[in-house]
Amino acid sequence: MVGSAEADELTQDVFVLAWRKLDTFRGDAAFSTWLHRVAINVMLGYRKTKSLERERYAAAENVVERVEVRPASTEISVDMEAAIETLPGKAQEVFVLHDIEGYKHEEIADMLDIAAGTSKSQLHRARMLLRERLTA
Predicted local distance difference test score (pLDDT) of residue 44: 84
Condensed to tens digits (0 to 9), the pLDDT of residues 73-127 reads 545 445 778 888 889 988 999 998 888 888 889 888 888 889 999 999 999 999 9
Radius of gyration (Cα) for the chain, nearest Å?
A: 29
Top-confidence residue, 130 or 57:
130
Q: Which domains does the chain have, with CATH numbers?
A: 4-66 (1.10.1740.10), 80-130 (1.10.10.10)
Nearest to 112 by CA among 95, 126, 100: 95
Task: Identify whether the C-beta of residue 106 lies closer than 8 Å to the C-beta of residue 97.
Answer: no
Condensed to tens digits (0 to 9), the pLDDT of residues 59-68 reads 555 555 555 5
Task: Identify whether the C-beta of residue 38 lies closer than 8 Å to the C-beta of residue 21.
Answer: yes
